[in-house]
Structure 1
Amino acid sequence: MTHGERLAYPKFIIRELEKRYKDKNINLHFIYDIACVLFTHMHKTGEGIPQGISMAVPAFHVYGHKLQCQIMYSTRRLPGFGLTDGEGMERLWSFLRRFSRVTKVMTPSHRLDLLTDALLYYGRRKSTDLEVQLIQRWDKAEVWSLAEEEISAVLKEAPNNCLL
């Protein structure tokens, strides 16, 4: 990237995903900080969003958007995104932030070596903790499911005029 964040980059990624998975019956869930802007732009230009691709704004970023965007593009409100928050890259940048002060005085090759080691460590740590994360997410999903069942039971017992 030489010009900062532009809509051409996510549009390119979407087109590449469309080419790669066109013949397969796969639904892709695309999480982007300004998915609402990208969605509107692609419809205004007549491109549209390819079939089988859903877009959402990450769970924590969405609260900086207008209420309409929060409702239409939150990962919490769209089907298929589950409890994914979409903030994985933000966590990576947060991890790498602590290296900025040290690496700015290094030569490019030493900076590359240190950041490579840091990223390898980060990857190992994430893969080691994967089973723990999956168990935690499964527990959350079970609690979510039980809560939905209980809410449905309460709503069935409630008088009809209460639901208005």
Structure 2
Amino acid sequence: MGDLQKGERYANIDYIVASSIRGWSIKSIKDSFDIACEWCRKFFVRVQDLPEDLRPQIPAEEWVFIVPKFHIAAHKESCQAQYSSNYTPHVARWDGEHVERLWAWLNAAAPSTKEMNPGARWETIDDFCGFANWRKTVQLGDDLLRLMIEAIPLAQDHAADFAAFDRRLRQERAADVAAWERMVADWEVDRRKPNPYILPKPTISRADVQLRYLTEENREIAAGRVAAEGMGPCSFIVLGIETRQAQ
């Protein structure tokens, strides 16, 4: 943990994160942060400004940035596809929100700690965090049992549904399934490649469709196959849509 002078400035967060892994032999990191989609930009450039003994030695491709599940719902669609733990290998059903749960303890300590000097304040906050960790440790057996009782029947149901869906797809669209699997595998190795979880969106607009049909109508009128008087089919449909929207 670390103090912030004014908001979550990247310089502070970079220093805190680098300090937290200092001296540890870590090969890869799954890094959860509310604004990881913005913070990760030029992260490996900024950390070069840290003291030499704090600079992370983990390769950039082994450092995966994730937005926690509760916070990612407020992000745009491209962030949800790129930084969701749902699409990140080796994180299971982790939600990335655990550090946020400490606020329930620390908010109650705020009226006391804000009157303390820095040393007493830091030690008190450390005690609160230590107590939260101790409770988490001693309750781990009960928590895992409760979650397992809930997860096993749900896992069986979801596995059966997925197996049926996957089997039908492989029967009817085997080539597409193979292509999708390659896209996912490539993206998991290198996240700079096209993200298979971003759904393509139509680029054609209502004005484009209207222009296309009007052009066709004018061609039919010029050829003498349609009368030029009155309202054409396209104009009639547009009028109907506008009337419906007005109502």
* Shorter-chain TM-score above 0.5: yes
**Secondary structure of the equivalent of 1:80?**
coil
Contact residue 18 and residue 50 of structure 1 kept, 8 A: no
Q: Matches of 2:138 and 2:154 in 1, distance apart?
A: 26
Structure 1 equivalent of residue 86 of structure 2:
76
**Contact preservation (8 Å) 1:56, 1:74:** yes
> Match of 1:75, as an amino acid?
S
Confirm or deny that 1:32 pairs with 2:33.
yes
Unpaired runs of 5+ residues, structure 2, are: 49-58, 177-247
- Establish whether residue 8 from structure 1 lines up as the match of residue 34 from structure 2: no
Q: Residue type of the partner of 2:11? A: A
C-alpha RMSD of the superposition: 3.7
The code of the aligned residue for 2:68 comes to: P
Q: Percent identity?
A: 24
- Between the two proteins, the alignment pairs up a number of residues equal to 157
How many Å separate the matches in 1 of 2:125 and 2:133? 12
Q: Partners of 1:113 and 1:35 in 2: how far apart?
A: 29
Structure 1: distance between partners of 2:120 and 2:21: 35
Distance verdict in 2 for CA 1:144–1:68, change over 3 Å = farther
Aligned twin of 2:145: 135
- 1:121 corresponds, among 101, 115, 131, to 131
Pair 1:160-2:163 in alignment? no
The answer to whether 1:149 aligns with 2:159 is: yes
> Do the aligned partners of 2:33 and 2:68 also contact (CA within 8 Å) in 1?
yes
Matched to 1:66, the amino acid is K
The answer on 1:92 being equivalent to 2:102 is yes
Q: Aligned partners of 1:97 and 1:89: how far apart in 2? A: 13
Name the stretch that deviates more: 94-103 or 125-134. Answer: 94-103
Name stretches of at least 5 consecutive residues in structure 1 with no aligned partner: none
Moved more, 68-77 or 118-127: 118-127
Do the aligned residues in 2 keep the contact of 1:59 with 1:85 (CA within 8 Å)? Answer: yes
Matched, 1:63 2:73: yes
Deviation at 1:36, TM superposition (A): 0.7
Q: Which has the larger radius of gyration?
A: 2
Cα 1:43–1:65, aligned 2, differ >3 Å: closer, same or farther? Answer: farther
Per the TM alignment, residue 83 of structure 1 is displaced from its structure 2 partner at its CA by 1.1
TM-score (norm 2): 0.50
Query: Contact 1:29–1:80 at 8 Å: present in 2 too?
Result: no
CA apart distance, 1:146: 2.3
Cα distance in structure 2, aligned partners of 1:69 and 1:93 = 25
**2:30–2:65 contact (8 Å) kept in structure 1:** yes
Contact 2:44–2:60, Cα closer than 8 Å, also in 1: no
Q: 3-state DSSP class of the match of 1:83?
A: coil
Matched letter for residue 5 of structure 1: E
